[in-house]
Structure 1
Amino acid sequence: MYDAATASEIGKTAPAMQRVRGTARVGFVNTAGQTRLKDLFQSGSAKVRLPKVYGEPATAVLINTAGGLTGGDRMDYDIAIGADAHAIVTTQTAERAYRSLGTSAEVTGHLSVGAEATLEWLPQETILFENSSVSRRITAELTGSARLLILESVVLGRAAMGEQLTRVFFKDSWRIRRDGKLVFADDLRLNGDPSDFFSGPATGQGAKAMATLLDCAPDAEDRLDNARICLESASSGSVQAAASAWNGHLILRFVATDSRALRLSLMAFLETYRSARLPRVWYC
Structure 2
Amino acid sequence: MISNSNRHVIPSMLAPSPIDSAVSGSLQRAQGRAHVAFACPSGPAGERGTRLADLYQSGCAKIRLPRTRGERQAVLLNTAGGIAGGDRLDYSAAWGGGTQAVVTSQAAERVYRSLGDAGEVSNRLIVGDGAQACWLPQETIVFNGARLDRQLEADLSSSASLLAVEAVVLGRAAMGESVDCVSLRDRWRVRRDGRLVFADDTRLEGDARAILAGPATGAGARAFATILQASDDAQARIDEARAVLARCRSERLCCGASAWAGTGADAGGGVLVVRMLSADARVLRDAIMTFLQDWRGTDLPRVWHC
TM range (shorter): over 0.9
Per-residue deviation, 1:234: 2.0
Per-residue deviation, 1:233: 1.4
Q: TM-score, normalised by structure 1?
A: 0.94
- Equivalent residue, structure 2, for 1:46: 61
Q: Distance in 2 between matches of 1:205 and 1:15?
A: 38
Per-residue deviation, 1:98: 0.2
3-state SS of the aligned residue for 1:237?
coil
Q: Partner amino acid for 2:78? A: N
- Equivalent residue, structure 2, for 1:25: 35
Q: Distance in 2 between matches of 1:67 and 1:213?
A: 25
- Equivalent residue, structure 2, for 1:34: 49
Q: Partner amino acid for 1:137? A: Q
Is residue 91 of structure 1 aligned with residue 105 of structure 2? yes
Fraction of identical pairs, as percent: 50
Residues 148-188 of structure 1: CA deviation (Å, up to 9, x unaligned) = 10100000000000001110111001111111111111000
Residues 236 and 265, structure 1, Cα contact 8 Å, conserved in 2: no
Query: Which structure 2 segments of 5+ residues have no match?
Result: 1-21, 43-47, 262-269
Q: Distance in 1 between matches of 2:145 and 2:94?
A: 34
Residues 24 and 115, structure 2, Cα contact 8 Å, conserved in 1: no
Residues 24 and 78, structure 1, Cα contact 8 Å, conserved in 2: yes
Q: Partner amino acid for 2:287? A: S
Q: Partner amino acid for 2:39? A: V
Is residue 168 of structure 1 aligned with residue 168 of structure 2? no
Worse-superposed segment, 27-36 or 86-95: 27-36
Q: Partner amino acid for 1:50? A: L
Residues 236 and 261, structure 1, Cα contact 8 Å, conserved in 2: no
Q: Distance in 1 between matches of 2:146 and 2:226?
A: 21
Residues 177 and 184, structure 1, Cα contact 8 Å, conserved in 2: yes
Residues 133 and 169, structure 1, Cα contact 8 Å, conserved in 2: yes
- Equivalent residue, structure 1, for 2:295: 273
2:84 to 70, 78, 103: 70
Q: Distance in 1 between matches of 2:257 and 2:229?
A: 11
Q: Distance in 2 between matches of 1:182 and 1:240?
A: 28
Q: Distance in 2 between matches of 1:234 and 1:142?
A: 30
Q: Distance in 1 between matches of 2:67 and 2:215?
A: 45
Q: Distance in 2 between matches of 1:273 and 1:112?
A: 22
Q: Partner amino acid for 2:187? A: S
Q: Distance in 2 between matches of 1:164 and 1:72?
A: 23
2:26 to 7, 16, 29: 16
Give the alignment's Cα RMSD to 1 decimal.
Answer: 1.4
